[in-house]
Amino acid sequence: MKKVIVIPNLDTLQHYKDRRIAWIKLYLDILQDYRFQQLEDDERWIYLGLILLAVKNDNKIPKNDFFITENICFRKKNNLKRVKKFRKTILKLKKLGLISVKLLSECYQGDCLDKIRKEEIRKEEDIFSSEELITAYKKGKPLNNLRPHFWGSDMRWKEGEQKWFVLKDGSWLEFAGKESEIEWL
């Protein structure tokens, strides 16, 4: 079973609940938070990066060092010392209660339950197959304003090239996966 990282009370940092999040609310109170004060400067940046990544991934960040480090914290590749420090930071954040690590199935309980219920209601109202979503999007008529994503990154279909592209670090990269791996949000 996949493990995911969850940010407790993430909903308090989100301004909108019914659309794609482009920014978060960060209150000055965080500077006086005892748990936040226990973090070193670089650990604070990792924590803030995890918050942003959680918003982008519906508060279910895959517990995958490569995925997280590629998205939030490393400019230098393959730096073993930094990866070890990152892993220690994750353990520290967990110990302080700033994050929790759960099995993906556990997200259906507790703090993720409301989102799951809303999603199930939406699915009951509008059930579309993956093929229907893909076909409609390629024609420029997305169903229910659902947009394609891969691992939380935006995707686009380029009609002229007949290819999918994924937005990664500000660049559009050709999608090498299968269309069945596309998520619709």
Q: What is the pLDDT along the chain (185 residues), one digit of tens a residue?
A: 688 888 888 877 766 666 666 777 777 777 888 888 888 888 888 888 888 888 888 888 888 877 787 777 666 555 667 777 888 888 888 888 888 888 766 554 444 445 544 554 444 445 677 788 888 888 887 877 788 888 778 888 888 888 899 988 888 889 988 888 888 77
Question: In residues, how long is the chain?
Answer: 185
For residues 112 and 30, state if they share a domain.
yes
For residues 78 and 96, state if they share a domain.
yes
Task: Please tell me the pTM assigned to this model.
Answer: 0.52
For residues 116 and 156, state if they share a domain.
no
For residues 98 and 32, state if they share a domain.
yes
**Domain stops at, among 76, 94, 122:** 122
Domain encompassing residue 160: 126-184
pLDDT at site 19: 63
For residues 15 and 103, state if they share a domain.
yes
pLDDT at site 17: 63
For residues 57 and 110, state if they share a domain.
yes
For residues 116 and 133, state if they share a domain.
no
Q: Secondary structure of 50-61 in the HEC alphabet?
A: HHHHHHHCCCCE
For residues 95 and 175, state if they share a domain.
no
For residues 60 and 27, state if they share a domain.
yes
**Domain stops at, among 97, 122, 147:** 122
CB 184 within 8 A of CB 148: yes
Q: What angle do CA 66, 7, 44 make, to 5 degrees?
A: 70
For residues 43 and 108, state if they share a domain.
yes
pLDDT at site 148: 87
Domain tally for the chain? 2
**Domain stops at, among 122, 143, 159:** 122
For residues 117 and 134, state if they share a domain.
no
Alpha helices in 2-129 (DSSP H): 34-37, 41-56, 65-72, 80-96, 113-125
